[in-house]
Each structure stands twice: as C-alpha cells, then as structure tokens.
Structure 1
Amino acid sequence: MRFLTAGESHGPQLTAIIEGVPSGFPISIPQINESLAKRQRGYGRGRRMQIEKDQVEILSGVRFGKTTGAPITLVIKNKDYVHWQKIMSVDDQKIDHSRRVSRPRPGHADLNGGLKYQVKDLRDILERSSARETAIRVTVGAIAKQLLNPFGIRSFSHVINIGGIEAKSFEQLKPKNIEELIQQIESSEVRCADQQKTELMKQKIDQAKANGDTVGGIVEVVVFGLPVGLGSHVHWDRKLDGRLGQAILSIQAFKGVELGMGFAVANHFGSEVHDEIFWNEEKGFYRATNRAGGIEGGMTTGEPLVIRGVMKPIPTLYKPLKSVDIDSKAPFEASVERSDACAVPAASIVAEHVVLWEVANAFFEKFSGDSYIEIEQQLKNYLQLVRNY
C-alpha cells in the first residue's frame, strides 16, 4: 500500500489518496473522526483547535461501508480557510501579499525551505511544513487501524514524559488489564495513565505558558496481537524497525526514536538486554521478557511492539527568539503564528497512527491479496505453519 497527502495549513482542505487497499474491509467514518478528535484534544493546545473540528469525507474507494479495492480518497476541510481565501488563492489575478512572511522562525522549515525552493514569501514553506498536515496522516492511520482490527491487532498510545516529568512506560506498568489501562489514558488530559503525574505535567505546561515558553516530551506506542515475522532481515529497506523509525521521525518536531529498551541498552550488559526464548505446548515459542520491543532482526517476534518518540518543544514561542529578515538582513525577534504550549498528548495520537500504517503495510506484504477473504486464509495457514514448526 502507499499514500500521498496534499494541502496547506490555511488552504481549502487536506487530501490523502491511499492505493493498494484490498477489498471487503469494513470502514467506519465515525471511528476515523474519533481519532481526529483525539488529535485535537490535550492540555496545552492552542486556538486553532477551537476553530477546526476535523471531520473526514471519503470520496472514493469505499462503498456501503466496505473497501472496493480502488484508491481511497480522504478529505478534511479547513474551516479557517474562509479567512484566508485571498491570501491562499491559486488565481494569479488575485495576488494578496498582506500576509507575506519574510522573517524565518528558528526551529521551523522557513529559512531552509526558502533557500531550497528560492521563494521570497516564506508562507509558501510554512503552510505545507505545518503540523496541520498530521491531521490527514491520522486519517490514513485510522484506515490502517480498521484494516488490522479483523485480525485481532490492537494498539494504544500514551505520554510518558512532559518537560522532564516522567511516568512509567508500558513495560514498567506491566498492566494485567490493557482495557483498564487504556481507559486511564483516555481519561487523562495529557494522555498519561498516572493521575498524579498527569497533574504534575499540567503544572509544567502551565508554567511554560505563563513564561511564553513551550515544553516537549516522550510518547509511547504499543501494538499487540501481531504475528511473528512481519518485516524482513534480507534487505535494509524491508526491516520493520527501520521503517518505523523513519515514520516516527517524519512527524513534525520529533527528534528521536527508540524501540524496547532503546538507548538504555548502553547502560546494561548483554545478559540484561536480550530476551531469552522458551517453548511450551500452550504458547509455542515465546519470550518471557520484551526488552527488544517486539522486533528482532527487523521482524516482529510476536511480543507487543513498543516504540517511543521524543518531541521537541514547539519552536513558535510567545517569548520570541532572534532571527534575521530575508529582505533587509536586519535582526529581529521572531513573529508568532498560532501556537500550542504543549502538543505532546496530540502527538501521541499522530505517532500511533503513523506506526499503524507501517504495521499494516508490513502485514499486507506478508499476507498479500486483493480481498479480505484471501488475506484471512493466508494468515490462518501461516499461523498453523508457525504453530507446527
């Protein structure tokens, strides 16, 4: 499967086209909209979230609630476009430079993009590089989520660090009931399972906001119910961990990624890092620990996939940073477009959905076919082979 997105932050809409989705899979628009709503929530979000109420429209590839095998077109209309029609017009007879941007903001794509594409209005860069683009990527991931559901593959995301306030990871939590854990996460304004840490994180966000500053953090995505063997060891670009790393780092403002123990393996001996292999009649092959985060040799192990990403503090500050005007070359203090004090809770939703896209792609590479019936049969046969290995 593959997809392409298009659209600007203040343009008329965001669009995605997904190609390669097999036929016969149920698709629920309300479930996609639920993911979009989660992306817009979270303590510390800015005014844009009060303007937009993202809703998806499916324009092709789904009929009577099921995929047809044709390309799927997804659209999210930008409600704020009504105020930007002249500024974002495609008509060369209606040029409006009233909101031209000549002052690049530190930490953004503005200056690099302007130099690369040789444009003198940096709005051409910031409109596309904006994190607004993640809304349409969440819809793509929400489709992937629904494609995986029939095979018992589930996921969740949560926040384990905001501004240095640390909460327990999935492996540290060791939940006996995942549904209860998910309910705790969903009830938290910062998507943290620990209520005490939730309050401390909110205080950190309030502190940053009061100082005209921003805070970043760490999000964790967990996917369980995966069969062993998704991905491959035979080529660098087929390794699932490599593809997941690229997906996480493609999210705006994300600067690092780790699987399982991640960077902590540098502090331990090999005997404390690797997952020993066991076998019994009930489970077959299994691992008693999951330090690898569910991937070894670029392939899933059958244990939960655990991946984390770190998001930097948003660079648009109400306490502006220094920069240089591209016209006059004079120094100035960077201008402010609408901004969040903290978008980490929302970013956890984005991370979950980009991970689900890569997982679904690996799944359908392994169990390929044009229809749900074909794929279901392939999975059934494969699981039997694995069981009898």
Structure 2
Amino acid sequence: MLQYTFSLPTTIRFGVGAVKEAGVCAKSLGATHVMIVADQGVIRAGLTRDVETSLRDADIPYTYYDKIVPNPRDYHCVEGYETARAAGIDCLVAVGGGSSMDTAKAIGTLLTHGGKVQDWCGADKLLRPITPLIAIPTTAGTGSEVTPFAVVTDSETHVKLNIFDAKAAPKIALVDPTMLMGLPPHIMAATGIDAMTHAVEAYTCKLAVPHTDAYALYAIKLISKNLRNAVNNRSLDACTGMMLGSTIAGIAFGYSDVAAVHCMAEALGGRYDLPHGVANAILLPTVTAYNLPTNTKKYADVAEAMGLDVTGKTAEEAAAACVDGLRQLCTDVDIKPMREHPEIKPEDFHALSVAAMANVSTPSNPREMTVEAFEELFQKAYAGE
C-alpha cells in the first residue's frame, strides 16, 4: 500500500495587496530587525516600497542586502550573512525571483548554523530551522516561496549546490499578482516556462505522490491558460493565473522532485550563467520526448491539462502531443532554441553531462539516466530535436 507524508511548513497569503502585510507578518514572527533581500532592479522598480511602508507601520527597523545575482554565488550568501549578523537581524524578507529567495534561505541557514554554505548542502542536513523568512515573489516561475530548498552556485567548481530541507522553507509567502504587472515580457516568458517545467517534472518524476499530482496538474492548466497572455497581452487576470500556477507548481515539485530537465538546466546555469528559466525551456521538449516511454498515461494527462485536443488519440499519441505542445508554448512566448545561445558550446556537452549526472534529482527522472544519455539529450536539444 502507498504510504507517504505530506506537510506544508509555509503559510501562504495570496491576493491583491498581500505584499502590504509584510509588517504584520514580521511582527507575528517576533521580528525586531528585518533584512530585506532584493536585487537592485527590484528595488529600482519600486517593488519593495510597500514592504518598507508596512515595516515602518509595524515599527520594525530594516536593513537591505541587494547584492543578488542570477544563479546566486556562495560568497554573496556569506556576505549577506555577515551583514545580517552584524546588524542583529532576526527576520528576513526576500523580495524578487528565485535568486533573492535562495540567497535569503542560505543567509538564514548560516545565521542559525554558522559554517559555510557547502556544509549544509544536501538532503536533510539542517539541525534547526533557518532564521524566519517571509518570501514575496515578483516573478511567476521559481515557486521558491513555498519550497524547502535553495540552489547556490559554488564559485570555485561552478556547480550548483542544493540546501534541501523542510527547515529551510519560508515561514510565510506573500503572493501578490500585482507584482507581475510591470515584469518585462522576456522574464515573464522564462520564469513561466520554469514553472511549467516544475509542474511537468513534479507530475512525472519517480517521487510523485497523489497530493503532488493534484497540485501539478492544476498548475499545468493554469500556466497553459495564462502564460501567453501574461507575456503578450498583460492583464491582472493573466498575472493572477500565473502567480497561482507558479506557487502551486512550487508546492508540487517542492514535495515530490524535479528531474532530468532541471539537472541539465542547472549544469548549464552553473557553467554559463544562463537564466534558469531559459535553460529549462530549451531542454523541456527534448527531455520530455526521451521520457515518454516510461509512463505514456501521465504524459497524456499533461497534454489534456494543457488544453490540447486529445479526442480519439491513444495514450501514446496524446503523450506525443504533449511534446509538441510544450515546444509550441516555448515558441509562442519567444524562447530562443539552444543553438541561438552563442555561449553554449557543444564541446562542453560531456562535462555538462557529468555535472547533470551528479545532480541530486537525477535518480528521480522517470527514465534511467547515464552520462551518455545526458550527452545525447544535449546534442538533440542543440539540434532542435
């Protein structure tokens, strides 16, 4: 009989104006001095103003840490930790995409554990909860506001490492769809495909369970319905659908896993600093096609959830339609194929495959992976297959 445990350590507050509750939430966590972790672009765009106002209204002082970069580096996390420790920070508020939230999770880990980031990378290594974290997403992609892990790049090896522990999950997620209204279309596209990848891999990976299946399928429906409009014809309705889809996909993969698409994408990001969502997008159709034979019924379910016409199709035909649908979605939101990213070099594919094979999520892929299989998939993706 199937047995598993499912719990959500994060309280989610969703809706227009949710970001204005930051001060009340921080006070509920006992905060006396907050660090706002956000990149300079998010700050310049005014997306932290309501957080500042809310904290002032709650009489909670705050300090900024803004050295946030895509694919966050270990040394930035250490610098943020040292700044927070010197300031006596007892609560973190991350505002931004996955990079801000991952950086904040690593800072919180070091505040309660000491040592270096690498000491706490791996599964279930934390000894106690991290510093209380409020996560406020400004993109609809990473789902990091509800996930129990942080991805950090080792600056010496250029390999992405994972802190993977429920004790690293944010205490509160303030999920406000208005935060997406000014997001540049290319970022909406990349982060949206990232969310779709989370949902598809969560549903089809080996660690999927009925609860995560339900979240994943609903996320696929929401993202398929709203992403094109969110990119090409922005509206609050489309942003609401995408923010819901992203957070729900985050729950799905955060409590099942991702698979080979992410393993390969993280290898690309570690080597070339390629945006994570773009890396996922250029690999998703190719890897999905490779995985189809393992569970055609589930991939047929994905096609149906995407709204594709599967009437009269066999499970195999519907599963194949899923691949075509994912490829078309990437095209419709103007994600360039792998060969149009000049930084990606075919001569690196073997080293990238070795890195992908070492990823903690490789065993979760529905089809067995080898270094040779990863290398073949890199080659196929580069050829547009």
Q: Give the TM-score range, shorter chain.
A: under 0.3
TM-score, reference length from structure 2: 0.26
Flag the structure with more relative contact order, 1 or 2, with Cα contacts below 8 A and sequence separation at least 6: 1
> Of Structure 1 and Structure 2, which has the larger fraction of its residues in strand?
1
